Structure 1
Amino acid sequence: MTEDLLWPDYATPDDLAAIEAVPLEARGLPESTYALLARAATHWPNRTAITVLPDAARWREPLSRTFVEVLADVHRYANLLHHLGIRRRDAVAVMAPNCAELITATLAAQLAGIAVPLGGSLSRPHLGELLGRCGARVLITAGPDLAPDTWDTAQALARDGLLDAILAVRPTEAACTPEPLPAVAGVRVGYLGELAAAMGSSTFDGDLPRLSDLAAMFHTGGTTGTPKLAAHTHANEITDAWMLAASNLFDQDCVAFAALPLFHVNALVVTLLAPMFKGQTVVWAGPLGYRDPALYGEFWKIVEHYRIAAMSAVPTVYATLAQCPVDADISSLRFPMVGAAPLPIAVRDSFRASTGTSLIEGYGLTEATCASARSFPEAPRPRSVGQRLPYQRMRAVHVGADGTWEELPPGSTGVLAISGPTVFPGYVIGRGENGHVLDGLGKLVDGWLDTGDLAGIDGDGFVYLAGRAKDLIIRGGHNIDPASIEDALLAHPQVTAAGAVGRPDLHAGEVPVAYVTLAPGATVTESELRDWTHERVPDPAAAPKAVTVLDALPVTAVGKLYKLALRADATRSELRAALDEIDGVHDIEATIKGSAIVTTVKVSPSTDEAAIKAILGRYAIEWRLVVLS
């Protein structure tokens, strides 16, 4: 590998043109995620690769593994999978909270076959659908002493005839002898570490993956409707990880902190693969990651102890950290990266005021592997999520009624489209004679990915998001960006989180409403917050009709605000008010199905059904009427 070409000068936005003057193929990137790990083990054999905390309370008692030790573990696990019949085109499902064994098991699954990381919070029917679609018959999962609920789900899937083998992983630094695992008829059941102990650790027995081979399949697209499976090639993952590692910001001494779950692309690309390029140490949080309340009370001490320089999290994490008193020396923290959801201005400002460190914004999505843009701390562009990464092309387009795309000039807002080496090959829709069948499902047009985001791009390649196309609130034909409402609410000193959505409306189609959480001891009322927002949103049409205080906003497993749940609540509240004077209405339910909300109104037999139907029919919603017996 030509190291001179591998590492360009990448310190400022002006370096992009010079970087792209060298063809990507000439950079000499590793052939696979396995080759990347092998390279790190050759360059820095005895350097610590991962330091894994058992949990937030025991952060001083980690398990550390060098790059050589990680490589040996990956060989053992991959050889076990090979022994179980896994070959290059076979999927291996992985479902567990973060732990030391899960990190190496994920890499081993990509070496022996194709890793399919799954979130344990997905419903059993959805997990069964995803297993059937990818064809995985081997599941690496949490054992009973790591996550009992996940273990129960794994056994149920096996009893349903969906699996041939269950390989259980244990908590990091588990001290006691594990309990025997119950047998499941016709299924190989055992602890991953025990079964792999006898396997070879020096080499892998099977065929090595190549750049064009599939490396992983990540579920994406929802928490209620069956998620889609986005396929990633080794080239996708290696290239995206290199694009991040190429930055001059990150040197060999940069210690990173990882706490997002490994079924999320950010955890894999940003905090597992990218650090391997320069031999950086990564400190991994315990199984709950950022969802562990105890982590926040210890966080600044962890930063001081391990000299954490970089971390990656979602805005809700930084909003919480901004409220935690800094009780340690955190001068090492230079690169706190934020993405996965829009960054509210109030969160950005409060974190900087609390820590003295600025957040580094980025932008990406699973269908473009992970990261597609990142900002520069020394060259900020207000309101931008950053400059496109090298070799990724971006443009804003207008999508016509007939589906045709028209590229818009710099600065114009349209649907953001991306092309280049990180764009995924498609969603997995099944298996055929030649492997998995992939389909863009309308997201890929002539090699360009329709991100579903609205954005403008300036002449230097900086991206300015204007919201999700599907999150826009359309009031009487007037487009409202919910971020403008959320920013106004988050500017209030007692508001800790905010989400704005559209509520069905008889006259305007929908009107904006907002939901917030408040700081402990807050005294502000909902009506006061509504008035506060009315005075501060730039567009009078965006002023919310109502502000509702909740104990917590609904979020996905990785901390993204789950707006469908808020829209469902807003729909339910509107219809309760609209039907309040009609006798016999027992209940109103707003159920999330895929990306849609279906409202069910339950009434008694004596209810005036015609009157209810007349009211419901005036709303632009999907509804059904159920007469109770």
Structure 2
Amino acid sequence: MTTDLLWPRYAAPTDVTAIEAVPLRDRGLPESTYALLTRAARMWPDRLALTVLPDAARWREPLQRSFSELLDDVHRYANLLHRLGVRRHDPVALMAPNCAELIPATLAAQLAGIAAPINAAQSQQHIAELLRRSGARVLVAAGPELAADTWEVAHEIAVSGGADAVLVLRPTGAAGVPADLPEVDGVRIGYFGALSADIDSSGFAGDPPRGFDMAALFHTGGTTGVPKLAAHTHDNEVANAWMLAANSLWDQDSVVLAALPLFHVNALMVTLLAPLFKGQGVVWAGPLGYRDPVLLSEFWKIVEHYRIASMSAVPTVYAALAERPVDADISSLRFAMVGASPLPTAVVEKFREHTSVPLLEGYGLTEATCASVRSFTDAPRPGAVGLRMPYQQVKVVRVREDGSWEDLPTGTTGVLAISGPTVFAGYAVAHDEHGHVLDGMGKLVDGWLDTGDLARVDSDGFIYLVGRAKDVIIRGGHNIDPAVIEDALLAHPQVTAVSAVGRPDAHAGEVPVAYVTVAADAGITEEELHAWAGERVPERAAAPRTVTILHALPVTAVGKPYKLALRADATRRELEQALATIAGVDSIHASVADGSILATVEIDGSAGEPAVKAILDRYAINWKVMVRK
């Protein structure tokens, strides 16, 4: 494996074609995430791999591990899982905030079996269903010192017979004797670190994974109320990690900041696996990550101290950081990656003006492992999310009524489809003695993935997102299934129909709102329905911001729910509030144009035009201003 084959130039849009002149199979990529880790430990045994902060307030007191030490930890943890009966097709559930033990535990789960990360903020019912679908019988979970609420859920899972073993994680750098853990008949419960302390770290006792083996099951927003489990193979993850690492802006000295939760593919791919390719050190923020207000207040000092070169976050984080005075030397920060939710123009401009650091926008989805599209700091294309990554192909299609696809010409808006080595194997819908039962559930057609996003591709291959064919609501990078909101409101005896959609939001990209119809003689108010939903929606982030009562919900010509019309109405209502104090605003309209929402603001005279445009730039929406002279 030569350096030239592994690291071609990847700094400009024109490099993609040159890269693809060499088949991916000839580039000598490691066979699995485990092989990727062992390569890093062999090439840079003493180099610092992990710097894990116990929390944002104690950012000067990290726990640090070299690449060889990280490999030792993974061997110990994987061998313990092997002793507990975990084999190649067995998933290991992981439910904890980021901490020093969770990182090797995730890699060990992929070595011994299959990693199945879980967001503990979901309802206990959803968590139990994810465990059932995955077939996981071993649960790695936060203990009472690390996250008391998560530990309560894990303990209840053990009591209810939902796990055969619960391996408990302690906070980063925890000292002293931990609290005793309660006993549960028939369930092995113990601290992961203590149980694995004396286990051999020189190698793995089982058979190492191969490229076609399943590496992870990541839950993603679905249409049934319970998230779906997207299956990633080792080939998927290694290929996508290499595509990210191949970015010529990254070198071996680039220190990466990680502050997104490991149950999200971005944290695994961008800040754990990709840095292994070039031996880059990663600084992991505390368990709250970007949600910790102390991290944001100390952020620039952390960048200076650890010489952070790049980071990955959602637009809301960059909007918040643009408000924080730069009180340190941040010259090490070369670029910042952004994705997961719509990116307002105002955030891009304000962050760069405030920090002189460019935002490198990207696009991807869990079903395509993580990242499929990236932009280029030296070749900006306003309005585009970027160009496809090497070895991934994109096209725009029209999905006919019978489910068949029609390829559309360049520049035409349609559903974005992706093919290539990162496209997932399908959704895990069940688990039996032979392993997982996978189903594309209509998302896979002849090797192409229906992203559910509406887009157009220009003649140079740059991709412009114009809306979503799917209903998922993305609040600050967090996918919200509207079904959980709709089910909660439909449970009200006076509600007859519900549609939940995303409303543009200057801070979170969009927030959920709900529209309902009620029985003819109902005396219920919108405020009462809002309170009802807030009490019953399973996670706080999904609770609708408003509930609006309508005489009828819009439908298509064939009687299907027409959510685009509701999204247009939500956009109009939001902009009416945002522009209420601007003199001269005559009217605000939001219409459906080519599958996306277009907001039109009419103003009398040009005096108020700069103020109107400044406010509209805060939103990731299509808009135009018409000035009446």
Q: Scaled by the length of structure 1, what TM-score is found?
A: 0.79
Whether contact under 8 Å (2:216, 2:232) holds in the other structure is yes
Output the CA distance in 1 between the equivalents of 2:17 and 2:435.
38
Q: Give the partner amino acid of 1:117.
A: P
Other-structure match for 2:262: 262
Q: How does 1:508-523 map to 2 (within 5 A)?
A: 509=554, 510=566, 511-514=568-571
Helix, strand or coil at the partner of 1:527: coil
Q: How does 1:341-380 map to 2 (within 5 A)?
A: 341-380=341-380
Change (3 A) 1:107 1:277: same
Matched, 1:75 2:128: no
Shift of 1:179: 1.0
Change (3 A) 1:306 1:168: same
Output the CA distance in 2 between the equivalents of 1:541 and 1:28.
47
Output the CA distance in 1 between the equivalents of 2:359 and 2:585.
27
Helix, strand or coil at the partner of 1:97: coil
Whether contact under 8 Å (1:115, 1:216) holds in the other structure is yes
Q: Give the partner amino acid of 1:150.
A: T
Other-structure match for 1:216: 216
Shift of 1:498: 5.9
Shift of 1:346: 1.3
Q: CA RMSD in A?
A: 2.8
Other-structure match for 2:488: none
Other-structure match for 1:53: 53
Helix, strand or coil at the partner of 2:372: strand
Other-structure match for 2:297: 297
Change (3 A) 1:191 1:472: closer
Stretches of structure 2 that go unaligned for 5 or more consecutive residues are 474-500, 517-549, 555-565, 603-618, 622-629
Output the CA distance in 2 between the equivalents of 1:496 and 1:534.
25
Change (3 A) 1:544 1:354: same
Other-structure match for 2:101: 101
Residues 205-235 of structure 1, C-alpha deviations (whole Å, 9 max, x = no match): 0000000000000011159911100000000
Output the CA distance in 2 between the equivalents of 1:412 and 1:423.
24
Output the CA distance in 1 between the equivalents of 2:274 and 2:229.
23
Q: How does 1:452-531 map to 2 (within 5 A)?
A: 452-470=452-470, 486=504, 490=506, 509=554, 510=566, 511-514=568-571, 527-528=580-581
Other-structure match for 1:118: 118
Change (3 A) 1:411 1:515: closer
Output the CA distance in 1 between the equivalents of 2:233 and 2:318.
31
Q: Give the partner amino acid of 2:349.
A: D
Output the CA distance in 2 between the equivalents of 1:231 and 1:532.
50
Q: Give the partner amino acid of 1:528.
A: T
Change (3 A) 1:496 1:431: closer
Residues 408-433 of structure 1, C-alpha deviations (whole Å, 9 max, x = no match): 11111110000110000100011234
Output the CA distance in 1 between the equivalents of 2:352 and 2:49.
30
Helix, strand or coil at the partner of 2:58: coil
Other-structure match for 1:333: 333
Change (3 A) 1:500 1:208: closer
Other-structure match for 1:145: 145
Output the CA distance in 2 between the equivalents of 1:87 and 1:246.
32
Change (3 A) 1:242 1:144: same
Residues 117-174 of structure 1, C-alpha deviations (whole Å, 9 max, x = no match): 0011111111111111111100011011000111110010011111110000110011
Shift of 1:502: 8.2
Q: How does 1:189-588 map to 2 (within 5 A)?
A: 189-221=189-221, 225-470=225-470, 486=504, 490=506, 509=554, 510=566, 511-514=568-571, 527-528=580-581, 534=587, 542=599
Give the paired residue count.
527
Other-structure match for 2:610: none
Whether contact under 8 Å (2:73, 2:104) holds in the other structure is yes
Whether contact under 8 Å (2:315, 2:341) holds in the other structure is yes
Helix, strand or coil at the partner of 1:423: coil
Other-structure match for 1:25: 25
Whether contact under 8 Å (1:374, 1:388) holds in the other structure is yes
Change (3 A) 1:220 1:499: closer
Output the CA distance in 1 between the equivalents of 2:81 and 2:98.
20
Residues 422-459 of structure 1, C-alpha deviations (whole Å, 9 max, x = no match): 00010001123421110000111111100000011123
Shift of 1:2: 3.1
Other-structure match for 1:552: none
Whether contact under 8 Å (1:16, 1:390) holds in the other structure is yes
Whether contact under 8 Å (2:168, 2:191) holds in the other structure is yes
Q: Give the partner amino acid of 2:52.
A: V
Helix, strand or coil at the partner of 1:266: helix
Moved more, 46-55 or 428-437: 428-437
Shift of 1:378: 0.6
Other-structure match for 1:43: 43
Shift of 1:308: 0.7
Change (3 A) 1:243 1:179: same
Output the CA distance in 2 between the equivalents of 1:128 and 1:500.
25
Other-structure match for 1:174: 174
Shift of 1:535: 6.4
Stretches of structure 1 that go unaligned for 5 or more consecutive residues are 474-481, 519-523, 546-560, 564-629
Shift of 1:513: 2.3
Whether contact under 8 Å (2:98, 2:287) holds in the other structure is yes
Change (3 A) 1:67 1:536: farther
Output the CA distance in 2 between the equivalents of 1:386 and 1:226.
31
Output the CA distance in 1 between the equivalents of 2:354 and 2:552.
44
Change (3 A) 1:401 1:258: same
Change (3 A) 1:182 1:2: same
Shift of 1:348: 1.1
Output the CA distance in 1 between the equivalents of 2:208 and 2:601.
56
Change (3 A) 1:502 1:404: farther
Other-structure match for 2:496: none
Q: How does 1:180-191 map to 2 (within 5 A)?
A: 180-191=180-191
Whether contact under 8 Å (2:116, 2:217) holds in the other structure is yes
Residues 444-503 of structure 1, C-alpha deviations (whole Å, 9 max, x = no match): 111110000001112332211111123599xxxxxxxx99x95xx85xxxx886659785
